[in-house]
Structure 1
């Protein structure tokens, strides 16, 4: 349960930061920053709840996390512009942290209800990418999951490791979190891509 709570906090705040930064890059006002920050922060957990049958209204019971997201969005909003302009570096890191946290959460949730491996992979992928997809759609951007660098694959591979039982306990879970974040950042740095087939 502690591991679950830690992942939930990390994923939620990381996605809140990435959503708030993109909102400022798109010249949103303070209300827009809050809306995009909140929808990004809770998009992944909403998809997770839908996938594993948790009532959606349980999201509203996370009062302390809502306050934390609200304060985080305010902090991002008042940061100097030169900090915000470092989005290409820090925004991708926070997005990678959100991806890893919620991918692991989604996979763990599916395993706990006895779902088959295929369902674990889907839960990891959609839960991990949910916040980022929500953010990009609301901001009118091409979702990061469909961009050139490898993104969703790392969530799927994390789900595979959990689904086959290779991840047991907080230490291996932490190692998997670090691995997903690192692989995502490396894929951006080295521009790793999946095969493409263009039709003219």
Structure 2
């Protein structure tokens, strides 16, 4: 049951995220639908490529495509006055999608009997892959490549599931809520990973 619920939550969250970014970039109607669909299913496609599952398996998710199309349509028809608050809620939707799809990707890898390293990779790619494709197509720097704490939460979810620390539906839901909260807290308080900049060195020279 948790698998289906998390799939629906992640699909809606990332479809909405992609549609909003497309509208911010002033894409036309086709661009809004395209970016919404790519964001919702891009992570799963990348994951399938790397763990040996045919990408064509995505086309078997007819219900998920219908859900994504409905979510994108709803966002496109939403009153513009309310959409102006997206800057406040945008990262929240992204956090939900990251958490739901990271757990789903890890569960997928475990179901295939893959090692824990593959489980972590599947969690990270499924959780952040769609967002990466969305940002690249929108001409933005992907969040996962910045020094912001983002994909780390997906990797942690992969470890938790890979070590069988969350196996039943209740524990998976708790993990989902915990991951979402941690992601929200990390961007609210501007948590950063260590990084080094070459720009300061160039300026000094």
SS where residue 166 of structure 1 aligns? coil
TM-score (norm 1): 0.94
| 1:115 matched residue in structure 2 | 114
SS at structure 2 position matched to 1:34: helix
Paired residues of 2:19 and 2:32 also in contact (CA < 8 A): yes
CA contact (8 A) 1:52 1:109 kept: no
Q: Does 1:172 align with 2:167?
A: no
The within-5 A match list for 1:5-154 is 5-154=4-153
Q: Distance in 1 between matches of 2:91 and 2:69?
A: 21
CA contact (8 A) 1:11 1:101 kept: yes
Residues 16 and 72 in structure 2, CA contact (< 8 A), matched pair in contact too = yes
8 A Cα contact 1:107 1:120, kept in partner: yes
The answer (yes or no) to whether the contact 1:101–1:128 under 8 Å persists in 2 is yes
Superposed displacement of residue 147, structure 1: 2.6
Q: 1:53 Cα shift?
A: 2.8
Per-residue deviation, 1:48 = 2.8
Q: Give the number of aligned pairs.
A: 199
Which deviates the most, 103-112 or 152-161? 103-112
2:102–2:123 contact (8 Å) kept in structure 1: yes
Task: Choose 176-185 or 74-83, whichever is displaced more.
Answer: 74-83
Q: Is the 8 A contact 1:120 1:163 kept in 2?
A: yes
The alpha carbon displacement at 1:25 in A equals: 0.8
Using the alignment, how far apart are the partners of 2:127 and 2:83 within structure 1?
24
Cα distance per residue 1:98-138 (max 9 Å; x no partner): 11111111111222222222221111111111111111011
Q: Supply the distance in 1 between the matched residues of 2:62 and 2:105 (Cα, whole angstroms).
A: 21
CA-to-partner distance for each residue in 1:16-72, whole Å, 9 max, x for gaps?
Answer: 000001111111111111010010011122123223333211211222222221121
CA RMSD, Structure 1 to Structure 2 (Å):
1.3
Question: Based on CA coordinates, which of the two structures has the bigger radius of gyration?
Answer: 2
TM-score by length of 2: 0.92
Tell me how far apart the structure 2 counterparts of residues 72 and 112 of structure 1 sit (CA, whole Å).
Answer: 29
Would you say the 8 A contact 2:147–2:195 is kept in 1? no
Q: Where does the alignment leave 5 or more consecutive residues of structure 2 unmatched?
A: none
SS for the counterpart of 1:114 is coil
